[in-house]
Amino acid sequence: MTEFVSLSVDEGVGTIRIDRPPMNALNRQIQGELLEVADEATTRADVRAVVVYGGEKTFAAGADVKEMASMSYSDMAPQARKLSAGLGAISTIPKPTVAAVTGYALGGGLEVALGADRRIAGDNAKLGFPEILLGIFPGGGGTQRAARLIGAPRTKDLIYTGRMVGAEEALAIGLVDEIVGADEVYTRAVAWAAQFTTGPALAYAAAKKAIDNGLDTDLRTGLDIESELFAGVFASDDASTGMASFVENGPGKATFTGR
């Protein structure tokens, strides 16, 4: 059983809820629980898409600084990869994922959100990497995922200055994908995720893998990855069903099973 991170499922949408009041500080226990719950969301057949949510007031205000303050190099060296894995756990889920961001998503909190396929922010959202103000820098995937998402210059600006950006600036630079009222964030995120609950799950997983793995390599290798994954989905029942339905009835009428 997990204490601070939970998974609930409603009509195919799994909600990963971070709940450690008052600010959802992401200590080592939560990092481990994120890995555990992400694995559960991956393996459960009744979870077809995932929302990660920190609650109405804040998404997550960062790693637990009190926990890290007394750590030396020798303490952190064996923990750094575990921290990165925990804060990046959402990225390992081979299903459509969306972060529902209200209030603060700072440091490790922003790193968790960056692991999702999409970010929907409330108009009260504040995002940033304040680690430099502590004499450190983002170590849970922030330097890599942010740079791939918004480019190196903007990522360096955020990391070097440690400044927070509001929802509008975050949208303008591509850090989030949509802004809604703070009280609508979770509902909107569930609605986005719900559109995938009856879709071809194996095709979603393959497309996600092709995109993510392709970004880590050169174009030629990425195209090879795409070709292998593309061929692989032809082994699925959904591919047979979908193409037969298209031929017989036109697009958008297939009933998929996720197999």
Q: 62: buried, middle or exposed (CB in 10 Å: 19+, 13-18, 0-12)?
A: buried
Long-range contacts of 246-251 (CB under 8 A, 24+ apart): none
Task: Transcribe 135-176 into DSSP letters.
Answer: T----SSHHHHHHHHH-HHHHHHHHHH--EEEHHHHHHHTS-
The SS3 assignment for 12 reads: coil
Are residues 20 and 147 in contact, defined by beta-carbon separation less than 8 angstroms? no
Catalytic one of 36, 67, 131, 169:
131
Annotated active-site residue in 11, 111, 168, 228: 111
d(CA 53, CA 16): 6
Q: Which residues contact 40 (CB under 8 A, 6 or more apart)?
A: 7
Active-site residue flag, 111:
yes
Going by DSSP bridges, is the β-strand pair 118-122/97-101 parallel, antiparallel, or unpaired? parallel
For 242, the token pair is 């979908």
Residue with tokens 């992400």: 38
| Residue positions annotated with a catalytic role | 111, 131
